[in-house]
Chain A
Amino acid sequence: MLLIPCPYCGARAENEFGYGGEAHKVRPETPENLSDGQWADYVFMQKNTKGTYHERWVHSQGCRRWFNVIRDTLTNEIQAVYEMGETPPEVDTKTYL
């Protein structure tokens, strides 16, 4: 069970939250000019990092607000939490084979 520090409510159990996947994927500015390949890249392709991963969560059973989490996907250590639109804080980037 993860204890996720919601920036608005404090630490809460993981089943109060919903998962929004990879963070900082920028929605294409001119969608009408995109090829199918570029759409596929935006919609489907994932970094799916083993290690430090920037992801989005929503506190759906609490304040219902979205925020970003930096989590190590192997150890589940939460390295940082920050608000939507903020620049990600510097963390020790971990990667594994």
Chain B
Amino acid sequence: MKSRYSIFSLARNALSYHEKWPQAWRSPEPKKSYDAVIVGGGGHGLVTAYYLAKEHGLTNIAVIEKGWLGGGNTGRNTTIVRSNYMWDESAALYEHSLKLWEKMSKELNYNVMFSQRGVLNLAHTLNEVRITKRRINANRLNGIDSEWIEPEQVKEWIPLIDLRAKGRYPVFGGSLQRRGGTARHDAVAWGYARAADALGVDIIQQCAVEGFDIEDGEVKGVRTSKGTIQTKKVGIVVAGHAGVIANMAGFKLPINSRPLQALVSEPVKPCVHCVVMSGAVHAYISQSDKGELVIGAGADSYNGYSQWGSNPVTEDTLAAICELYPMFRRMRMMRQWGGVVDISPDASPIMGLSPVKGMYLNCGWGTGGFKATPGSGHIFADTMAHDRPHPIAEPFALDRFKTGFLVDEHAAAGVAH
């Protein structure tokens, strides 16, 4: 039984100089067989394991991770959480997730520092104004909070911005989702790992998948660097490496893996109080609790697994940031990195069954998977437990590329890229 984190446990552990906190999760060796194996120990995979154990009674399960928990895109994104997507299918998915974000810290007894500071999406052209207003109307019809704000209100939200129409990127207004915000990404992985572990889930790190045992189109086991694990259910939740895993299982996915970049600046006093996104110029900015500006850039234009990213992309983003926020021209950047994202043709995820029986897919989240972490895992656990897509996951099946019913969110949601 895990000890609960509280003000009392904090005080009690202060007496022993915080040297006696119990471990948050075990690091067991893999067993010979499990009822289900989740490949990928990022946010989505850990949430899946948590809900499989909590809501579907599957506790003999393992999460296997090639590196360390949350060391992939979970720890590399810009932590923006919002649900103002245009199409009904996406709205249902991301709003389901946002509702879980709102109670996450309490449910996990782990502070994920979810801060609903508001997400502002800027419109820089008349065309963007029209599409943004259309999206706001669609959001409101789906019960998602979303409002149009005029340039003067943008200035109130973010006084540093340069609104001048004679500038390169004039601001004609924007959409605001007040319930959107940011969270501490590592805490999300750690919180779910701790909660899943408490329910009996084995979390196995430093364990790479090397292949699958598949007989008559049905999965029988996973070959890993720590030996073969027998199982009849495998959930593939590996983001950028989804294609690599699919190739091992003998099928292809409609996914291109590309580095997506982010940067942080030196820490400064509070100056950006909400998240400001600007899809048209590929510049997202927010300020972390430590004071660093967290800046998101675009994805590379070509495939790559380098977790580094191409320089021209960073340059374009920073050029736009300097135009929009002239004060940041003298800001120094501390770190820059990339995460390998799995971009699908319609910028919507792929969730549900795969061509191999017993193998389930949760990938294609591309550049925006972090916000969906709890909802994705919740829906995917249900899909795995019942061997059929959850109603919210149905439109996101791999089959949609055969039927042509794509969920085209590229431009519709103000999803950049």
Q: Could you tell me which A residues sit within 8 Å of B by CB distance? A: 1-2, 14-15, 18-19, 21, 36-37, 39-41, 43-50, 53, 55, 73-76, 96-97
**B214 close to A (CB within 8 Å):** no
The interface centre, meaning the residue of A37, A43, A50 with most chain B CB atoms within 10 A of its CB, is A50
Which residues B302-330 have CB closer than 8 A to chain A? 302-306, 310-312
Please, how many angstroms separate the alpha-carbon atoms of A48 and B402 in the complex? 19
- Given the known A-B contacts A36-B402, A45-B252, are A53 and B303 also in contact in the complex, defined by CB atoms under 8 Å? yes
Which chain A residues border B247 with CB–CB below 8 Å? 47, 49
Q: Interface readout for B90-115 with A: 1 if CB under 8 Å, 0 if not?
A: 00000000000000000000000000
- Given the known A-B contacts A36-B402, A46-B256, A48-B253, are A73 and B304 also in contact in the complex, defined by CB atoms under 8 Å? yes
Please, how many angstroms separate the alpha-carbon atoms of A2 and B404 in the complex? 35
Q: Interface readout for B274-308 with A: 1 if CB under 8 Å, 0 if not?
A: 00000000000000000000000000011111100
Q: Could you tell me which B residues sit within 8 Å of A by CB distance? A: 66, 208-210, 241, 243-244, 247, 252-257, 301-306, 310-312, 345, 401-404
22 A–B contact pairs at CB < 8 A? Answer: A1-B311, A14-B302, A15-B312, A19-B302, A36-B403, A37-B402, A41-B252, A44-B254, A44-B345, A45-B401, A46-B252, A46-B255, A48-B253, A48-B256, A48-B303, A49-B247, A50-B243, A73-B303, A73-B304, A74-B306, A96-B305, A97-B210
- Given the known A-B contacts A1-B312, A36-B403, A75-B306, are A45 and B253 also in contact in the complex, defined by CB atoms under 8 Å? yes
Which chain B residues border A15 with CB–CB below 8 Å? 312
Interface contact B243-A55, CB-CB below 8 Å: no
Please, how many angstroms separate the alpha-carbon atoms of A40 and B305 in the complex? 24
Which chain A residues border B209 with CB–CB below 8 Å? 97
Please, how many angstroms separate the alpha-carbon atoms of A15 and B209 in the complex? 36
Please, how many angstroms separate the alpha-carbon atoms of A45 and B301 in the complex? 18
Interface contact A50-B402, CB-CB below 8 Å: no
- Given the known A-B contacts A21-B256, A44-B254, A97-B210, are A50 and B302 also in contact in the complex, defined by CB atoms under 8 Å? no
Which chain A residues border B402 with CB–CB below 8 Å? 36-37, 39-40
Whole-angstrom distance from the CB of B19 to the nearest CB of chain A?
A: 38
Please, how many angstroms separate the alpha-carbon atoms of A43 and B406 in the complex? 13
Which chain B residues border A37 with CB–CB below 8 Å? 402
Interface contact B253-A46, CB-CB below 8 Å: yes
Interface contact A46-B306, CB-CB below 8 Å: no
Interface contact A48-B257, CB-CB below 8 Å: yes
Which chain B residues border A43 with CB–CB below 8 Å? 401
Interface contact A55-B311, CB-CB below 8 Å: no
Interface contact B66-A97, CB-CB below 8 Å: yes
The interface centre, meaning the residue of B209, B243, B305, B312 with most chain A CB atoms within 10 A of its CB, is B305
Nearest A-chain residue to B340, judged by Cβ: A50
Please, how many angstroms separate the alpha-carbon atoms of A53 and B301 in the complex? 15
Nearest B-chain residue to A48, judged by Cβ: B243
Please, how many angstroms separate the alpha-carbon atoms of A14 and B312 in the complex? 9
Interface contact B254-A46, CB-CB below 8 Å: yes
Please, how many angstroms separate the alpha-carbon atoms of A41 and B404 in the complex? 12
Which chain A residues border B345 with CB–CB below 8 Å? 44
- Given the known A-B contacts A36-B403, A73-B305, A96-B305, are A47 and B310 also in contact in the complex, defined by CB atoms under 8 Å? no
Please, how many angstroms separate the alpha-carbon atoms of A53 and B209 in the complex? 21
Complex partner residue of B241 from A41, A50, A76, CB under 8 angstroms: A50
Please, how many angstroms separate the alpha-carbon atoms of A40 and B301 in the complex? 22
Please, how many angstroms separate the alpha-carbon atoms of A59 and B235 in the complex? 41
Interface contact A19-B301, CB-CB below 8 Å: yes
Whole-angstrom distance from the CB of B95 to the nearest CB of chain A?
A: 27
Which chain A residues border B301 with CB–CB below 8 Å? 18-19
- Given the known A-B contacts A44-B254, A46-B252, A47-B247, are A76 and B306 also in contact in the complex, defined by CB atoms under 8 Å? yes
Which chain A residues border B252 with CB–CB below 8 Å? 41, 45-48
Which chain B residues border A21 with CB–CB below 8 Å? 256, 303
The interface centre, meaning the residue of B257, B301, B303 with most chain A CB atoms within 10 A of its CB, is B303
Nearest B-chain residue to A69, judged by Cβ: B302
Nearest A-chain residue to B313, judged by Cβ: A15
Nearest A-chain residue to B209, judged by Cβ: A97
Which chain B residues border A44 with CB–CB below 8 Å? 254, 345, 401
Which chain A residues border B311 with CB–CB below 8 Å? 1
Please, how many angstroms separate the alpha-carbon atoms of A97 and B404 in the complex? 32
Which chain B residues border A1 with CB–CB below 8 Å? 310-312
Which chain A residues border B244 with CB–CB below 8 Å? 48, 50, 96-97
Nearest A-chain residue to B344, judged by Cβ: A44
